[in-house]
């Protein structure tokens, strides 16, 4: 049997496990590689460039939010009959992005996919930052953002309670639970790595801050025992949770009677789309991050290849959902449902519909070719296009359906304003700002987990 070279995990050798970490890696080198990113005096110049751009966009985000709150929702393009419009498109888009992070961290963990250890930390970070961006939009588009706490069931002097029979309230619970559990999962997994940073700290500030967040982790056997149980249980809880979140988001639409929304296929269709766009975002972030911070031995080409396979698979699911929507519209015999679909494909928003089909169904088919799956220069633009397509999907569902409901007298066209565009661009700024801060100050790869899978290198041991 041939021995696989240290720097190759792409060769398909059915009798040998592919290497999870490339090169002559041991515990010390893994620690050194990951901690060096945090401990180096200055990040690479590209980091500064990206950070300045992202912070500027974040500033624009908050300025436009301030302008919106001070002036009123009239500054957005939302108007009769399209009251949801861009803010909700952005909300669904960002919530969807988060799903791939939980898929990688929780679902692949339960399936014992050990290769996930290379990318799970930053995919989870991506989840949390995406939920942060998503949470902003429903809150600011309600009109009176300063009373957004009325969504919470708390005893109040008005003697009112929220309506628990409304999907919009289910959404509040689903998204806030998702944000909380994702944060707990991410943080719990990071505690041992924060302890590593604390123990390597050379300044008292670092020791204090990393020590504070490492909560006194020492790596004793009893701590690891509880840690592994807690991690497993959180993964087991996060798995049904992530499937529920986008299902509940889809209820916002499916429970309503708008033609084009009132469909039983929405929950699985939304979840597949969410994982699809999330995996594309993972590729978008991983490709530059691994080369910028020298993580190519930990986040290997095989990881990217796996993500691209996931993108291809979920693209087929999403394409199937687009097709079955047409079938259901026709088979239902409901003229409004059929009209809603014809309107998507041939109406005033046809450009958005066909952009969506091209980006989500056609372009990812390139991933059937291994050369495309393993070329960072090809996979990156494809991932960007997938995210464009997934944003368009939500735009088509929301705007094209609301713009032409039952009565033609109630039809209307939606046009975004400058503030809408600034908010979408600004939310990307917030997302990338948080991500860049994470890259600079937190361990980007789950060191303790990678150390645990290093023993696979000899090719024969499956850690019992």
* 48, 66, 113, 218: which one binds another protein (CB under 8 A): 218
Is there binding between residue 165 and another protein (CB under 8 A)?
Answer: yes
Integer Cα distance of 390 and 309 in angstroms: 17
Q: Where are the beta strands (DSSP E) in 286-393?
A: none
* 116, 302, 404, 451: which one binds another protein (CB under 8 A): 451
Residue with tokens 């060096």: 36
Q: Does residue 81 have a cis bond before it (omega within 30 degrees)?
A: yes
Q: Got the DSSP string for 92-136? A: HHHHHHHHHHHIIIIIHHHTT-GGGGGTHHHHHHHHHHHHHHHHH
| Nearer residue to another protein within complex by CB, 244 or 375 | 244
For 29, half-sphere exposure in the C-beta direction (CA atoms, 13 angstrom radius) is 11
* 67, 83, 173, 441: which one binds another protein (CB under 8 A): 173
Q: Got the DSSP string for 393-415? A: HHHIIIIIHHHT-S-GGG-----
* 75, 123, 136, 241: which one binds another protein (CB under 8 A): 241
Is there binding between residue 217 and another protein (CB under 8 A)?
Answer: yes
Q: Are 438 and 190 in contact (CB under 8 A)?
A: no
Short-list 354, 423, 393, CA closest to 276:
393
* 57, 97, 100, 234: which one binds another protein (CB under 8 A): 234
Q: With the CA atoms of 302, 306, 309 and 314 taken in that order, what torsion angle do they form, in degrees rounded to the nearest 10?
A: -160
Is there binding between residue 70 and another protein (CB under 8 A)?
Answer: no
Q: Are 123 and 131 in contact (CB under 8 A)?
A: no
Q: Are 133 and 427 in contact (CB under 8 A)?
A: yes
Is there binding between residue 268 and another protein (CB under 8 A)?
Answer: no
* 19, 99, 116, 198: which one binds another protein (CB under 8 A): 198
* 33, 54, 196, 355: which one binds another protein (CB under 8 A): 196
Minimum gap (Å) between residue 409 Cβ and another protein: 24
Contacts of 311 (CB under 8 A, 6+ apart): 276, 279, 280, 283, 364, 367, 382, 383, 386
Is there binding between residue 444 and another protein (CB under 8 A)?
Answer: no
* 1, 3, 14, 28: which one binds another protein (CB under 8 A): 28
Binding mask 400-439 for another protein (x = CB under 8 A): ----------------------------------------
Is there binding between residue 27 and another protein (CB under 8 A)?
Answer: yes
| Nearer residue to another protein within complex by CB, 28 or 45 | 28
* 4, 39, 177, 326: which one binds another protein (CB under 8 A): 177
Is there binding between residue 75 and another protein (CB under 8 A)?
Answer: no
Residues 89-148 that bind another protein (CB under 8 A): 144, 146
Q: Are 245 and 170 in contact (CB under 8 A)?
A: no
Minimum gap (Å) between residue 223 Cβ and another protein: 5
Short-list 119, 111, 122, 326, CA closest to 235:
111
Q: Are 393 and 352 in contact (CB under 8 A)?
A: no
Quote the crossing angle between the two packed helices 335-346 and 350-357, to the nearest 10°. Answer: 80
| Nearer residue to another protein within complex by CB, 230 or 338 | 230
Candidate ranges 58-66, 80-88, 134-142, 226-234; the one touching another protein (CB under 8 A) = 226-234
Is there binding between residue 208 and another protein (CB under 8 A)?
Answer: yes
What's the burial of 315, exposed, middle or buried (CB within 10 Å: 0-12/13-18/19+)?
Answer: buried
Minimum gap (Å) between residue 426 Cβ and another protein: 24
| Nearer residue to another protein within complex by CB, 110 or 425 | 110
Note the residues at the interface with another protein (CB under 8 A). 26-28, 31, 144, 146, 153, 159-165, 167, 169-170, 173-174, 177, 180-181, 184-185, 188, 192, 195-196, 198-200, 204, 208, 211-212, 215-230, 233-234, 237-238, 240-241, 244, 248, 251, 448-449, 451-452, 463-464
């Amino acid at each position: 049997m041939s021995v696989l070279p240290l720097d190759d995990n792409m060769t398909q050798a059915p009798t040998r496990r592919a290497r999870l970490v490339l090169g002559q890696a041991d515990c010390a080198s893994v620690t050194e590689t990951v901690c060096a990113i945090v401990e180096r005096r200055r990040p690479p110049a590209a980091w500064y460039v990206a950070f300045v751009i992202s912070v500027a966009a974040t500033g624009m985000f908050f300025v436009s939010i301030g302008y919106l709150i001070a002036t009123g929702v009239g500054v957005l393009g939302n108007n009769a009959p399209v009251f949801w419009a861009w803010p909700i498109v952005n909300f669904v888009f960002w919530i969807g992005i988060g799903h791939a992070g939980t898929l990688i961290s929780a679902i692949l963990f339960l399936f014992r996919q050990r290769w996930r250890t290379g990318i799970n930390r930053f995919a989870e970070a991506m989840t949390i930052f995406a939920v942060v961006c998503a949470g902003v939009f429903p809150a600011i588009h309600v009109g009176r953002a300063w009373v957004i706490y009325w969504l919470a069931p708390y005893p109040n002097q008005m003697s009112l309670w929220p309506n628990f029979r409304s999907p919009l309230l289910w959404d509040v619970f689903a998204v806030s639970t998702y944000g909380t559990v994702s944060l707990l999962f991410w943080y719990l997994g990071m505690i041992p790595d924060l302890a590593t940073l604390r123990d390597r700290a050379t300044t008292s500030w670092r020791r204090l801050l990393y020590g504070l967040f490492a909560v006194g982790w020492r790596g004793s056997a009893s701590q690891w025992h509880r840690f592994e149980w807690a991690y497993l249980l959180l993964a087991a809880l996060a798995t049904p949770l992530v499937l529920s979140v986008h299902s509940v988001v889809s209820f916002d639409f499916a429970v309503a009677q708008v033609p084009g929304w009132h469909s039983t296929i929405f929950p699985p269709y939304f979840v597949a789309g969410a994982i699809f766009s999330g995996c594309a975002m993972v590729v978008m972030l991983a490709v530059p991050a691994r080369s910028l911070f020298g993580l190519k031995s930990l986040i290997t080409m095989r990881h990217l290849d796996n993500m691209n396979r996931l993108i291809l698979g979920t693209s087929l699911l999403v394409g199937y959902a687009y097709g079955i929507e047409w079938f259901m519209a026709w088979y239902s015999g409901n003229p409004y449902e059929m009209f809603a679909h014809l309107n998507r494909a041939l109406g005033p928003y046809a450009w958005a519909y066909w952009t969506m089909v091209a980006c989500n169904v056609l372009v990812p088919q390139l991933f059937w070719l291994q050369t495309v799956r393993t070329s960072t220069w090809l996979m990156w633009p494809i991932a960007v296009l997938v995210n464009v397509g997934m944003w368009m999907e939500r735009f088509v569902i929301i705007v094209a359906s609301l713009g032409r409901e039952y009565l033609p007298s109630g039809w209307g066209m939606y046009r975004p304003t400058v503030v809408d565009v600034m908010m979408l661009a600004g939310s990307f700024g917030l997302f990338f700002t948080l991500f860049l801060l994470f890259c600079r100050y937190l361990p980007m790869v789950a060191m303790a987990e990678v150390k645990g899978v290093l023993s696979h290198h000899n090719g024969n041991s499956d850690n019992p």
